[in-house]
Structure 1
Amino acid sequence: MAGLFETTGDGSAAIALDEVEASILRSLEVQMLELIGPGPGEDSDDPLAALFAEGPTAPPADPALHRLFPDAYGAPGEPADLETTAAASEFRRYTELDLRARKREDALHVVRAIDGLGGQGGELKVEAADCPRWLGAVNDLRLTLGSRLEVTEDDDEGLYSLPDEDERKPMVMLYLWLGAMQESLLEAITS
């Protein structure tokens, strides 16, 4: 099936993307790269400064970025006490830059693979070692779209019944496609 992964039998997966699907997926990953952006100090040309750069201590204000880089401590959506907030800030300070870098690398890996199709559709084989990168990149896209759509566990079913004239419909279709793609990749690598 086009746009979904299939197992290759050796721990790898393959996906057939038509030209439009390849273009959409590439565009979404490029937008993800722009959203994530470089972290504080990561745009320095000094490798030593980059090595010792510390990340932010406050969570991102953008709900989509906050979903990609959540607090490590405390319950989501619940007010945190001072001790929990301090622990989450300290954890973020030492981990967020690496997490941003990994998410950028995952998205860039997908972009490069799609670029390998030469602007055409075609079949991509994702080696077993690269499947976690694809899974991470697709998951990040889905989390971001879900955040923009304000999806909760309770209203997931409502996404299937949006009228065609609803302005969220194209984003919902992308969200559902990415969910199916993610599920098919999981099935392909566990088969």
Structure 2
Amino acid sequence: MTARFLSGWKRRGSGDSAVYLAHCSAHESDLLRSIVESMCELLTERAESAPSDELTAITGIRSGHSSAPQDATLGRLLPDFHRPDQDEEIGCDAVNGDLNGALRSINEPVIIDEKLAAAHCLLDTVPVGGGEIALTRAQADQWLTAINDVRLSLGAMLGITEDAPDELDPDHPYAAHLHVYRWLTEQQWILVEELME
């Protein structure tokens, strides 16, 4: 998957009226839709499995899970707010699990909403079967969020680190996933460059 994504992003216009244009093939459309829909399913299942809370019923303020996801992919998308390895860096002795749990319970529903909104923006603007894509600046920003979240998901599954190989043996079960990860990384960078022009 070495071809440049779509037909290459091109900006038309400037300022608030700028539009970001590209053309995607049927294969690219199917791939994007499939991986983004899979991520949406994970996030939606997480949101819907949150325990019910009496305070939510009284105040209308939603609460989410207080514990981190056990799934590595969701854990990468919804990390803890504080990790023990940050204690020295931020100058505190320790932050116990109760604080992380409270922060997660309050903020996770909003974070999931924002991730799903970005994902749905991408799904709404990728033409089924391929075709022309035209994004406003706000939609392009949502695309970047969705692409980054999918990359995080794949990276967690692949165990991506700085030392990860550029290629895997073609017979490796995750070889195709690594190609998709690299492809998305390139697409993210191309769109960022166009937005920064």
The one-letter amino acid paired with 1:172 is L
Find the partner of 2:78 among 69, 74, 79: 69
Q: Distance in 1 between matches of 2:85 and 2:193?
A: 29
Q: Secondary structure at the match of 1:37?
A: helix
The one-letter amino acid paired with 1:190 is M
Aligned length: 180
Compute the displacement of 1:90 (Å).
1.4
Q: Contact (CA 8 Å) 2:84, 2:95: kept in 1 or not? A: no
The 3 A distance-change label for structure 1 pair 163 and 190 is: same
Q: Distance in 1 between matches of 2:131 and 2:167?
A: 32
Find the partner of 1:30 among 30, 34, 37: 37
The 3 A distance-change label for structure 1 pair 76 and 37 is: farther
The TM-score with structure 2 as length reference comes to 0.81
Aligned to 2:174: 168
- Which stretch of the first structure deviates more once superposed, 61-70 or 163-172? 163-172
Compute the displacement of 1:7 (Å).
3.0
The 3 A distance-change label for structure 1 pair 164 and 91 is: same
Bigger radius of gyration: 2
- Which stretch of the first structure deviates more once superposed, 129-138 or 8-17? 8-17
Q: Which has the higher contact order (CA 8 A, sep 6+)?
A: 1
Q: Distance in 2 between matches of 1:182 and 1:138?
A: 7
Q: Contact (CA 8 Å) 2:155, 2:181: kept in 1 or not? A: yes
Q: Contact (CA 8 Å) 1:12, 1:128: kept in 2 or not? A: yes
Compute the displacement of 1:2 (Å).
4.0
Aligned to 2:90: none
The 3 A distance-change label for structure 1 pair 167 and 110 is: same
Find the partner of 1:86 among 91, 98, 101: 98
Q: Distance in 2 between matches of 1:90 and 1:33?
A: 24
The TM-score with structure 1 as length reference comes to 0.83
The one-letter amino acid paired with 1:19 is A
Aligned to 1:111: 123
The 3 A distance-change label for structure 1 pair 9 and 169 is: farther
Pairing of 1:1-191 with structure 2 (within 5 A): 1-3=4-6, 4-10=8-14, 11-38=18-45, 39-40=47-48, 49=57, 51-75=60-84, 83-114=95-126, 117=127, 119-155=128-164, 158=165, 160-191=166-197
Identical residues among aligned pairs (%): 26
The one-letter amino acid paired with 1:162 is L
Q: Secondary structure at the match of 1:83?
A: coil
Q: Contact (CA 8 Å) 1:8, 1:188: kept in 2 or not? A: no
CA RMSD of aligned residues (A): 2.6
Q: Contact (CA 8 Å) 2:84, 2:94: kept in 1 or not? A: no
Q: Distance in 1 between matches of 2:109 and 2:20?
A: 30
